[in-house]
Amino acid sequence: MQRRMGNQPTRQATRPRMVLVPGARLALRDHVRHQLRTAILSGNFAPGERLNERALAEELEVSTTPLKEALRQLEAEGLIEVLPRRGLVVRYDAGFAEEMILARAALESAIAALAARRADDGAIERLGETVATMAEATEKADIAHLIRLNECFHGEIHRAAQSVHLARLVAQQQFYDDTARRVIHRDHNDSRAALEEHSGICAAIVARDADRASALMGAHVQRSGRLYLSAVFGKERS
């Protein structure tokens, strides 16, 4: 992790900000958190491994303060556990990932049910368009586009549901990254299955059928989750 980060144009009495920095400067702790999270989810730490704060701080080239903040966040997410005065332990393993899938499925189900009740005309229209675009991308096997559309689809449902907290929680239950995503989406059969599911969910929401939307969403998330699980851990469980 690089120490330097303030090479932005240092407000030199110019206009009030024309150049919006794309990524907006994140706090150091957020970099650290992201870095650690990725490392944990990639299995770079053995499950149960004791971590040393000082060593980690040194390795990441930051002081212990932002590191500690990042660790507290990861602790709140459940990825690590803190034994007071004794250190940190990584809690993430295949079983944990499996529970993340279940949590994600449960939460997305709840959101889908909300969306079926609350979606306005605009949201329904956008959702339909997204699914239509997804159909095209699936035919063309445009993986990158498909990944983006997938996020878009779920994001639109979240917005239609007017859920903030639920959406946040869902976002926390993601244990795979773009690499795994590309691997998954490469399977054309799976893409077609996913498209079927997406259409079904969309239809249920349009029909205001909250129960069906919820059930379909749950099944969809669990199915694709298991796929990711096998991609990341190379195994499946019942």
Partner DNA sequence: TTTTGAAGTTTGATATATCAGACTCCGAAG
Partner DNA sequence: CTTCGGAGTCTGATATATCAAACTTCAAAA
Q: Catalog residues that contact its own copies under the rule CB under 8 A.
A: 24-27, 29, 65, 68-70, 72-73, 75-78, 82, 84-85, 91, 95-96, 99-100, 102-103, 105-107, 109-110, 114, 163-166, 168-169, 172
Q: Binding partner of residue 78 among DNA, its own copies, none, CB under 5 to 8 Å per kind?
A: its own copies
State the Cα–Cα distance between residues 191 and 197, nearest whole angstrom.
Answer: 10
State the Cα–Cα distance between residues 208 and 131, nearest whole angstrom.
Answer: 17
State the Cα–Cα distance between residues 111 and 171, nearest whole angstrom.
Answer: 12
Q: Binding partner of residue 165 among its own copies, DNA, none, CB under 5 to 8 Å per kind?
A: its own copies
Q: Binding partner of residue 126 among its own copies, DNA, none, CB under 5 to 8 Å per kind?
A: none
Of the pair 100, 146, the CB lying nearest its own copies is at: 100
- The yes or no reply on residue 206 touching DNA (CB under 7 A) is no
Least separation in angstroms between residue 17's CB and DNA is: 6
Residues 6+ apart with CB under 8 A from 70: 29, 30, 32, 33, 36
Residues 118, 161: contact at Cβ < 8 Å?
yes
Residues 83, 89: contact at Cβ < 8 Å?
yes
State the Cα–Cα distance between residues 111 and 117, nearest whole angstrom.
Answer: 10
Q: Which residues bind DNA (CB under 7 A)?
A: 3, 6, 10-13, 15, 17, 24-25, 27-29, 50-55, 62-66, 68-69, 82, 84-88
